Amino acid sequence: MSNTQNAVILVARILLSFMFIYAGFGKLTDPAGTAGMIAGAGMPAATLLAYLAGAFEFVTGIAVLVGFQTKIVGWALALFCAFTGAVFHSGTVAVPGWPDAALGWINALNGIMLMKNFTLAGAYILLATFGPGAYSLDARRRVSVAIAA
């Protein structure tokens, strides 16, 4: 793989990591909004699940950023994106007392979030399949193992 291709993969990893590092940190420091969404979906232990989601997002985001265990993390994030898209962003949103115009906007945004989640799942499948590139901890570990052998 060329240096240019490896640099593009690095940029892609940086961009793919930012959302999960940011969102995970937010859930860990203030889980209330996420806990409300989880409870609204009928799931138990909403606050605990919000913290677990935050930890998962933050740790996997860092792993993508540095290129650590990228294939495993890529598949895990692809499944996470598909699951959360299907559970939290499919269907219509009904907020009691909100005007119809606001609900229309919220439902349009929810549809965009569903598409975003499925699109990200595709990006993480690519990352899991083709790997993190040369500028990653995974690549450095392969070199270290090869030198030791």
Instruction: Report the domain count for the chain.
Output: 1
> Confidence band (pLDDT; 50, 70, 90) for 146?
low
Query: Sign of torsion, CA 25 40 90 125?
Result: positive
Do residues 75 and 124 lie in contact, with contact meaning Cβ atoms separated by under 8 Å? yes
Q: Which residues are CB-contacts of 81 (< 8 A; sequence separation ≥ 6)?
A: 117, 118, 120, 121, 124
Residue of 74, 106, 80 whose CA lies nearest to 24 = 80
Averaged confidence pLDDT in the chain:
92
> What is d(CA 97, CA 126) in angstroms, rounded to the nearest whole number?
43
Range of the structural domain that residue 56 is part of: 3-148
Supply the pLDDT for residue 147: 58
CA geometry: angle 129, 125, 68, nearest 5 deg:
65
Q: Amino acid identity of 87?
A: V
Measured CA distances, 10 to 18, 25, 56, 67 (Å): 12, 22, 21, 9
Measured CA distances, 3 to 8, 49, 123, 130 (Å): 9, 41, 21, 15
* Helices marked H in 30-136: 32-40, 46-66, 70-88, 100-130
pLDDT tens, 50-108?
A: 999 999 999 999 999 999 999 999 999 999 999 999 998 988 877 778 888 888 888 89
Do residues 140 and 134 lie in contact, with contact meaning Cβ atoms separated by under 8 Å? no
